[in-house]
Each structure stands twice: as C-alpha cells, then as structure tokens.
C-alpha cells in the first residue's frame, strides 16, 4: 500500500512562513514511511507582487527551499513533490516554476518545469493573468520510476492539455499541484482532473491553493485524490491541511486488463 498525501495551503509571500507551515503540518500528520506528499503550486511564495517570486528564486541544488524540503523528506523517509517554487534561469528577468521530487534519502529524483503558461482573462477580481511575463516555460515531459510507482509530474494549467499526459506514457501516479482560481476551479477543476485520471487509468494527487491571498487573488481549494476509475478517494474543501488516501498501486492492473485503453489507442503520441 502507498499513502498519497496532498497539502492544501493559503500561501503568503513569505518563504520562511510557508516552509514552517509545511513542516508543522507534516509533524502533526504522522506521515508514513514511503508516503508521497505533494505540495501546491507556488507553495513557498504566493499572493505578493508580480516580481515577488523572482526575488526569492533559487539556483537549482542550492537555497533554503530545496534544503528544507530535502531535510523533511529525509526526516519523514517519504517522497515530497515541491508543488512549484521559483528557480533562476539564464534570463535575469524570468524564473522557471520548478516542480521537484525529493526521495526518502533527501535526494533530488526529478525536476519538472511548468510548460503551459496561464496567460488568460478570467471574470474575477484579478481579471487578467499573464504568467509568461515573469515565468520561463519548460519544454520537457518528466516521469520518474520509483519503488512506489512510476510518477508523472505536471502543474496547474497543464491539466488542460491532454497531449502532455499522452506523452508521459505509462504512469501509476500523476501529481498535479495547482493554484487554480476560484472561478476556473468551480467551473472545471473536478472535470479536468477526473478526465486525466480516467484516460491515464492512474491515481491523481492534486493539491491546490485555497482562499483569499494577500494580493486579493482567490483560489479554489478542493485538493483531491482520485482513483484510476475516477473515484474520489479523498477531498479537502476549502480549509487548509492534508487530505490523504492509502492505495494499492497494483489495482491499476485489473482496470487496465478489463479496459486496455492504452493498447486500443490509435492516436499514440510520438513521445510514447
């Protein structure tokens, strides 16, 4: 059995404050050995000025965010997905949104950079979003084989682009940290995540930001864990904290045998 855990947060612009929240939540949640703990998008810095994340961007392999997450993974002997946090790029005016996976020994196992930028208009109190103004898009599909299963990494707006998930090939668990807005969340969050779980026949762990943030941005919450059949195994509405589910990864095989979608697919991605 594998314990899948999603942490719902109302993150602030203050890195140390957010890291302390993660540490406190993990201490009180009694995280099991080899659990997969997934943090939300922008967990370490959110709700401030547009350039706020650039100011706290780290060099890959160095910095307080990476050090603390590595130490927590080692302390609890679990896997931690970093949600996203800002990492420096060659462009001094932009960072990348890094979604890193740390293993039970504290080692860095995978590093995904968010590909799809949230450049949209939304009928909410923010109105216009242009993520590409400060964030450099990634260009690599990332999956990683671990003793608890094959894990695919994606972030928030990525969920709307099924080609990305086709390109992942065979995965057991999809992690999708997010900061979905209140308006888009209430319209599409559950439908999109269930579609990804059903089409990939995999478990989905999707932690979200929740509530009203310092800059007035509203996020939807409803962090959720889904089965390969699309069933809800656990969901946290709007309050902060953990939602978890204990799953048997091998149960995917029965679903795949009964409905071999991947074998029947006549439009396979050239990445597979």
Whether residue 114 lies in the annotated active site: yes
- Rounded Cα–Cα distance for residues 58 and 66 (Å): 8
Residue 52 has pLDDT above 90, yes or no: no
Backbone angles phi, psi at 64, to 5 degrees: -65, -35
pLDDT digits (tens, 9 = 90+) for 71-106: 999 999 999 999 999 999 999 999 999 999 999 999
Nearest to 244 by CA among 262, 230, 229, 223: 223
Catalytic residue among 25, 41, 58, 218: 41
Catalytic-labelled residue, pool 45, 156, 200, 218: 156
Cα 169 from Cα 221, distance rounded (Å):
29
Phi-psi sector, 34: left (phi>0), alpha (psi -120 to 50), beta: left
Q: For CA atoms 181, 183, 185, 188, give the dihedral sign.
A: negative
Domain covering 2-264, topology = Nitrilase/N-carbamoyl-D-aminoacid amidohydrolase (3.60.110)
Distance separating alpha carbons of residues 116 and 159, to the nearest angstrom: 9
Residue-wise pLDDT tens digits, 201-259: 999 999 999 999 999 999 999 999 999 999 999 999 999 999 999 999 999 999 999 99
What are the angstrom distances between the C-alpha of 32 and each of 79, 95, 109, 260?
A: 10, 33, 19, 32
Residue 72 tokens read as 């927590």
Percent residues over pLDDT 70 in the chain: 98
Tokens of 79: 């896997």
Residue 198 has pLDDT above 80, yes or no: yes
Domain boundaries, the chain: 2-264
Q: What CA–CA distances, in Å, run from 265 to 29, 35, 169?
A: 41, 32, 12
Q: Give the CB-side neighbour count of residue 237, counting CA atoms within 13 A.
A: 0
The residue from 88, 114, 194, 200 that is catalytic is: 114
What is the band of 269 on the pLDDT scale with cuts at 50, 70, 90?
A: low
Mean of the per-residue pLDDT values of the chain: 96
41 tagged catalytic:
yes
């Amino acid at each position: 059995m594998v314990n899948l855990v999603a942490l719902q947060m109302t993150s602030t612009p203050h890195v140390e404050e957010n890291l302390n929240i993660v540490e406190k939540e993990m201490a009180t949640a009694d995280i099991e050995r080899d659990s997969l703990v997934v943090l939300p998008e922008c967990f370490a810095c959110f709700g401030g000025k547009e350039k706020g994340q650039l100011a706290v961007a780290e060099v890959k392999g160095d910095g307080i965010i990476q050090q603390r997450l590595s130490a927590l993974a080692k302390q609890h002997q679990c896997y931690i997905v970093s949600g996203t946090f800002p990492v420096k790029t060659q462009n001094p005016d932009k960072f990348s949104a890094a979604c890193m996976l740390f293993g039970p020994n504290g080692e860095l196992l995978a590093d995904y950079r968010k590909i799809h930028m949230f450049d949209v208009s939304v009928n909410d109190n923010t109105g216009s979003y242009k993520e590409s103004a400060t964030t450099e898009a990634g260009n690599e599909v990332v999956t990683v084989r671990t003793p608890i299963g094959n894990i695919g990494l994606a972030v928030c707006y990525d969920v709307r682009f099924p080609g990305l998930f086709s390109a992942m090939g065979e995965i057991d668990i999809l992690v999708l940290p997010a900061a979905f807005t209140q308006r888009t969340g209430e319209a599409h969050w559950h439908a999109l995540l269930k579609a990804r779980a059903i089409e990939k026949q995999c478990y989905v762990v999707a932690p979200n930001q929740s509530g009203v943030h310092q800059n007035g941005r509203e996020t939807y919450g409803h962090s959720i864990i889904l089965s390969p059949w699309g069933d809800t195994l656990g969901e946290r509405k709007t309050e902060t904290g953990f939602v978890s589910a204990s799953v048997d990864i091998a149960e995917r095989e029965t679903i795949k045998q009964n409905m071999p979608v991947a074998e029947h697919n006549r439009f396979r991605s050239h990445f597979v």
